[in-house]
Structure 1
Amino acid sequence: MTLHVILKFPVDYTIAGGTTDTITEHQELCEAKNRLIWGHSSNKSTSLVSEVNRNRLKAQISNGENTYSFFLANNKGKRELYVGKMNTIYRKGEILTGSPLIDYIPSYYASSVGTATDKNNILVDVSTFFRIDEKYLINITLESTGTKVGTVENRTSVFLVNIDEELEKLLIDLLTNLESNFQYQVEQVEVPATVTVVDQPRNKPPKTTVGGTSSYKRDAKTAKTAIVSAQYLCEIDPSHKDFISRITKENYVEAHHLIPMEFQYDFPQSIDVEANIVSLCASCHKKLHHATFTDIQPLVEKLYDDRVDRLDDCGISISKTDLLEYYK
């Protein structure tokens, strides 16, 4: 079976002058550079992953096998699970001071990598970094014993693991389907139950690459804020209530950019703002993407009338006619 790695760590990491959020530091770097090198430290003097297993992981990657590094975070007693598709793995001392690879390591410890003060036993190089439901820990087993990782209770911070077909299919879908990945991340991200949205211009988002496809970055937290503001209701018809989400425990809805993000280049300001994001039931969302223009037109016109003033407040100027052109 294909070998993968899982790393355990606390979210809050002590640095000079206080603490930093490990997840945020790594996630933002990966989003900015489409690549991340995660250094994992331990009090142990060993490499944590033997040379034999490092070579095995590298061989899998070279042969085109999807190989993953899972990151199991302890966030104030709550478990959070993240995953990255691996490019390679490095032993301690393999990345030298001044190496261009340092650019892919978070700044709060990048300067120590390759020096005598480097505490990282291993470093994993990944091309993606995103959160998945921690329930999938039951789909990850220790290679040595077959024990489900979610049931293992010891202080070891690195495990060599295998994953089952269900999790493999999920990861392939999230890596190859940008829309599926985005909606999944929106479900996972947490925002307060009560939010206040201030509609104002924001800078254009950067472009990011996922699964080899480049697109303007959509912020899952902004989308979730729009959904919470809509009280998890469909903004085309509030009576549309399909089912209760297992993750949010609320009516399941999806985030839809009224002005599609692929047209961000037409606007000087960001269109990834709450004013441009509507909460829709799955059926209405699919209709806007797949129905005939005759069916789409009245829905878009309604949403435009509801949002035009808010869009103006965000510095986004568009006529109803021009918006409809995007849906033809």
Structure 2
Amino acid sequence: MATSNAATNYLERRVLDFIFKNNSLSFATPNNDIYVGLATAVSNAEAGNVTEVQVDTDDANYTRQQVTAANWKQSTTTVAVALTSSATEVILTDAEAFPSSGAVVINDEIITFTGKDGTATANTNGAVSSSANVTVDGNSGTITVGMVVTGTGISGTVRVATVTNQNNIVLSSAVSISDNVALNFDGTNTLTGGTRGTSSTTAAAHSAADVVVCDTQRVINDNNVEFAAAAGTASTYTVTTAFVADKNIATAAVNGATSSTTAVTVDGNSGTIVVGDVVTGTGITGVVRVSTVNSQTSIVLDTAVSLSDNVLLTFDGSNILFVGTLDASKTIAVGDIFRINAGNLSIELK
């Protein structure tokens, strides 16, 4: 077996999204080119061509398993419950693909977090009739504000609005529940230990449905994605090179207003700005990239922009594809398996 593990610093969920969700040729039908997206040795410059893996077969029974989009979670979601500028917990719609700690961007603010909330269970202590006030007992785990509550008699998305104590809570909606009904409380979509306004950004209030982005991503997939030629087919293919995406995200603030110019001076940097980064921020529309980096405080964009002083800019390099080589190449014979392992994010050729 030859296994190609991606370089840890470059392993980025977005390249998997690109390969398996945006490239219609990947894992589709025989005779298509399949792009392989993990590498161990990564060059420091873009390359124009990516080596393709050609699959040839004369057997109509040749089968492949196509990646289901639902198995590859985006690290983009929305705010589920509005938060104030001082809130240290961020309640999200879906945080499954987010890491257990890291940073998120909401509008122009960067918020770091140290953990995720957990789950709890309890039983109703007395029937409830069209009321948001619920008394519980038999608790396991800690009930916290923002947890989604489920159980017989509860429909729709109902959250814990107030925790008077662990036996007396107020829900976000009135419910009718019988006595001794088992309730489940899920807080796994809540980011905890938040520090507001990091990396020279400003803490602000955020509304429900505001977009939340996390650059540190992970794959949610319980199964390997694999395919193999049926017995007796004449399928061979060779993997020689691959590509990854530079996951670097940098931020900086405009140091002096600009008016219809490509030259921008910045300060308060976090991360490294590189040529090709996509630049976003108030005053920038369309796709604008860094064309020249004179220094980390003096850059040139490929499009003239007008920016106010101290506007926060985000520099996203995750769309830059680099060419690298696998640690081994192997011609795959009939019956061999080409596998992408979602557990350790490696390519196995065996």
TM-score bucket of the superposed structures, by smaller chain: under 0.3
Which has the larger share of strand? Answer: 2
Which has the larger share of helix? Answer: 1
Query: Comparing both chains, which one has the higher relative contact order based on Cα–Cα distances under 8 Å and sequence gaps of 6 or more?
Result: 2
Structure with the greater alpha carbon radius of gyration: 2
TM-score by length of 1: 0.23
TM-score by length of 2: 0.22
